[in-house]
Amino acid sequence: MLKNKIAKDKFYFEKAFQENLPYKPLFVKLKLTWNCNLRCQMCNHWRERVSDMPVEFFQNIVSELAELGCKRIHLSGGEPLLYPQIFELIEHIRKKNIKLTMTTNGTLINEKIAQKIGDLQVSNINISLDSPLANIHNEVRGLKNAFRRTLRGIELLKKYHQAKLQINMVVNPLNYTSVSEIPDLAYNMGAHNICLIPVKIRTQEIQHFHLEELIEYNEKIAPFAYAKSLMYNLVKSQKQIYIFGETFSELQESCKGNYAQGYYDTHPCMALWTHALIDHEGRVSACCYTVNNPTIGDLKIHSFYEIWMSENYQKLRNQFKAPLEDCKGCTMFIHKNEKVLETLRK
């Protein structure tokens, strides 16, 4: 866990944080490919095909990250299982003794792939499942048999794999009414936890919530989802289910996409000291919520170390509070931030 790693190195992290200096890229997300086999309404990946970078390019990046103290790499996409040499890259990551996690839609997982994932000891796998109801999931994902194929993929993973399985659900106006049933499916499929993610508006197909929808969610859906999730031990806090806030003013902010509820108006984002995102072309951003907005550096031109230590990265760290407009909608790092700040206060 990020908190534990920082606790062991508290003096140096605190010094870097107080002086706005770089620390270590402890957790790096690698968007391995732009391409995807589904047609999700809230996503743009499927709208164009992009050539992949050679595996040697990513292997060199991984080797440098290992030297810089990276402890975890998360593979995503697009759909990472579309990357032709993904297992060659995974083998390289594991040889560097870096913890490996990944997010997949699960539809491409067959016996061979599931067994390979198990053999290579991928630590945690996140499965994207946007409703426990087949018709809603298929509508959101743009493929008639997506639901069946994803459940089959989960079954195969459980057969060959002992790692923790997380169900990711992007909650949007098309699927929010089915959230109360996602804990049942997650439990029955052997998942260890669920992660509800408020939708970021990127396309014309899906728009912001109306206030009455979020009121309905909090009054009629979230209470059942939370009770079931606690019973199945799928969440640890109420905030993991009440992702749009609980007060009327918080729901109003969520209707604008401001899911962080002003958190970054008064708190720094620790991701700027501990995290980076590398996209399918080697461009480096602060995180997936601000991908290429701005691009901090390009690994086809500079080393990761040069980018991590660069003036561009330093400008973001110096801005401290809500460094970008997109941060208003991000809840991904709030829990981690609180844990790190708690460690620094001790």
Q: What is the pTM of this model?
A: 0.94
* pLDDT for residue 1: 59
Provide the strand spans (E) within the chain.
27-31, 72-76, 99-104, 124-128, 164-171, 193-198, 275-278, 283-285, 297-298
Is-contact 194 167, C-beta < 8 A?
A: yes
Is-contact 297 283, C-beta < 8 A?
A: yes
SS3 52: coil
Token duo for residue 84: 């032709």
* pLDDT for residue 3: 60
Token duo for residue 90: 């995974």
- What are the tens digits of pLDDT across the range 262-294? 898 888 888 899 999 999 999 999 998 887 678
Rounded to whole angstroms, how far apart are CA atoms 234 and 183?
7
Residue ranges of the chain with per-residue pLDDT less than 50: none
> How far is C-alpha 57 from the geometric centre of its chain's CA atoms?
23
* pLDDT for residue 173: 97
Region class of 68: left (phi > 0), else alpha (psi between -120 and 50), else beta = alpha
DSSP 215-274: HHIIIIIHHHHHHHHHHTT--SSGGGT-TT-SSHHHHHHHHTT-TTTTGGGTSB-THHHH
Rounded to whole angstroms, how far apart are CA atoms 231 and 120?
32
Rounded to whole angstroms, how far apart are CA atoms 3 and 20?
19
Spatial CB neighbours of 210, under 8 Å, sequence gap ≥ 6: 173, 255
Strands 275-278 vs 283-285: parallel, antiparallel or unpaired = antiparallel
Q: How big, in percent rounded to 5, are the helix, strand and coil portions of the chain?
A: 45, 15, 40
> How far is C-alpha 279 from the geometric centre of its chain's CA atoms?
13
Token duo for residue 79: 């759909």
Strands 297-298 vs 99-104: parallel, antiparallel or unpaired = unpaired
Identify the residue whose tokens are 């407009």.
Answer: 325
Is-contact 53 76, C-beta < 8 A?
A: no
